[in-house]
Structure 1
């Protein structure tokens, strides 16, 4: 079932019924009474009812009925009744304006809070997107940082060409048909029984001592002429340089 459309008539009726029940006519209550309608539309119609009520002429037809009877001699009683009716009508108008003004103010505050909530959710979503982007950039930066650690490691002295871990890295790069990246080198070294630290140190020294080189945005390892010469010296078979076929 579709929601009811807010009109000046049903909004006016809702305000009247709420006042009869001694309830303040807020946007939420008026919308609930008419069975739907846009909150901004309901607010605009409530403001229209407020303006109509403020500019309406006092209801005088009942007072006029009493005034007509002035000629009958009941001047004092009729005047008191007519004044009472006029005062009651004015009081009702004032009460209506007060209630409507309060309801409209509350409605505006509700819309402001809803808008603030939507803005906060949008900012949170943007923050999450920025965090994801920062994490991705952080991973790339970490890879570059690990590469820079070579400079620190070399303070301990150059890598020993006879070191079995570094030799394994050189031989691995030579044997693979496709240049491996850092993660693949680490995985294969772990599979050979080397520790993670030993695998990283071996790769660092192999790169620093120019037996292999790293290329590309996601660094991959390629055998250098020096690495090929070293393997040839050990009478090991080496494939064509990967850089020539990549």
Structure 2
């Protein structure tokens, strides 16, 4: 077992925790063992702003026609300006959000809202596991649906089929929501019938039926990942140029630390 077992035993586990380990074990070490302070990126900042607006609307604290003006008024103060942004990433994000909120279609009067930014705190194989469901609701047929807001590109093509380059992304999207299904059942005693995603970048919502084999796969993946973490003593860095330079929350210190 790892020399860090005493730390692992007291962790509050989550989907993002487990996904981070698979992305880069060294990043995982910096956050969960060394407790280093990370930095944000504009994609996360943009996502936080969109989530905040959707939360206010879905909780009834904002009208639908107020969403776009709020977005326009708060984008500059929420999403940092990047010096030397030769790709125009920030401007592209602004346009994506503008189009989304200008055309937002979900009507809270058509569905019965169960929870918005709903916190889960449950036992997972003896571990404390947490999660936040962006939206859970009942449709007109009484089906419980859990929905996640995603600012990433939809993995589904125009025909509805999964894009080959996005199959891995969809797998992790499913794992996240199936773990939330696990927690929802633990906490409320009912299993959701559907999972889905509100793809902000593409301005479309995709719903899928809950499938037992996919649910079981997600639970097994989480179980196996926790076991691997317990068995790890050396948390090695994984190099991925775009991720390391744009998304990793430790991009400002990682290479310096590994070179020292």
TM over 0.5: no
Which structure shows the higher strand fraction?
A: 2
Asked which structure has the greater CA Rg, the reply is: 1
TM-score (ref. length: structure 1): 0.18
TM-score (ref. length: structure 2): 0.17
The structure showing larger relative contact order (alpha-carbon pairs under 8 Å, at least 6 residues apart) is 2
